[in-house]
Amino acid sequence: MRQPTIGVAALALAAVLSSAPAAAEWPERPITIVVPFPAGGGTDTFARPLAQQLGSQLGQSVVIDNKGGAGGTVGASFAAKAQPDGYTFFMGGAHHALAPSLYKSLKYDIQKDFVPVALLAQPPQVIVVNPKLPVKDVKGLIEYAKARPGQINFGTAGKGSTHHLAGELFAMQTGIKLVDVPYQGAGPMLSALIGSQVDLAFDGLGSSATHIRGGSIRPLAVASPQRSPSFPDVPTAAEAGVPNYEVSTWYALWAPAGTPKEAVDKMTAHVTRALQSAKIKEIWASNGSAIPDMTGPAFGTFLNSEVARWAKVVKDSGVTLE
């Protein structure tokens, strides 16, 4: 007598299951991109237009969460510990390739705690000065600094940032002594440079471009093998008399380790598509950056090479951080 009851229950359960909605496909809610520097810096320059483009493609909001501090390591640590559910990504850059050699006790491992998604932009570094500094070119800067050892300061986006190491490298290669002044990101650093609180900076062209065009800071040279198409009148460091000085910054996207492969693959595809959009191409070009073509494992290999490269610069410069 119980058999029919079981049959009816089974049929009822099957009906309920068949009427249940299928699992939603990614993304079904807004996505957050953690940017480990304050608004207004180089990372932000590329992050915000990319987020807007991705949002229109994905049909979901892509929100930028700025978490600055400690040369970008505070935000990286936060992102590394985020729930790996496909709704949090991390946009860092060259800063995070040199951090392992600078910090003795990082709370994350950029090579193990993240999944590489894509390289996003590669603007060259540019040597910029406050217009009040009485130098017109790199040769003049070197002569001015040599006559005033330890009196010329340069702003950085924080101790251990690419701005910092680029300045240390320049000082080593030219035989001058500069004093670094750290800020909480490139935005505050540029404000200090414009306001004459610091004399010069070694900045990513992406964050300096607008201020160069506006005349509030003066470019002396780009630290790349070729001149920037956006600023063809600015010489390379080699042309300006420092032949071995080449520093490019770069920005990239990661996902926390453990993020579902489906979400990573779809985000990779959408980033690739976004970078080929006319709008992004225009913005990248105006900020002196080409469009990279490097995703997944290829970007991971590039990251490993950058970690090794900056480890040598850190060792040679003697810079250490707690």
Structure confidence by residue, pLDDT tens digits, 121-173: 998 899 999 999 999 999 999 999 999 999 999 999 888 788 898 999 999 99
Question: What mean pLDDT comes out for the span 266-282?
Answer: 97
User: What burial letters (b/e) apply to 12-21, b meaning 16+ CB within 10 Å?
Assistant: eeeeeeeeee
> What mean pLDDT, rounded, does the chain reach?
90
The CATH number of 125-240 is: 3.40.190.10
Its CATH class, for the domain covering 32-122+250-317, is alpha beta
Phi/psi for 48 (5° steps) reads -70, -45
Q: Does residue 23 carry a pLDDT above 50?
A: no
DSSP bridge partners of 124:
248
Helices 205-214 & 186-194 angle (0-180, nearest 10): 30
Phi/psi for 292 (5° steps) reads -70, 160
Question: What mean pLDDT comes out for the span 292-303?
Answer: 96
CB-CB contact of 181 with 192 (8 Å): yes
Residue 230 confidence (pLDDT): 87
**Segments of 137-244 assigned E as strands:** 152-156, 178-182, 200-204, 218-222
Domain 32-122+250-317 shares a fold with domain 125-240: yes
* Domain spans, the chain: 32-122+250-317, 125-240
Digit-coded pLDDT (tens) for 179-204: 999 998 888 999 999 999 999 999 98
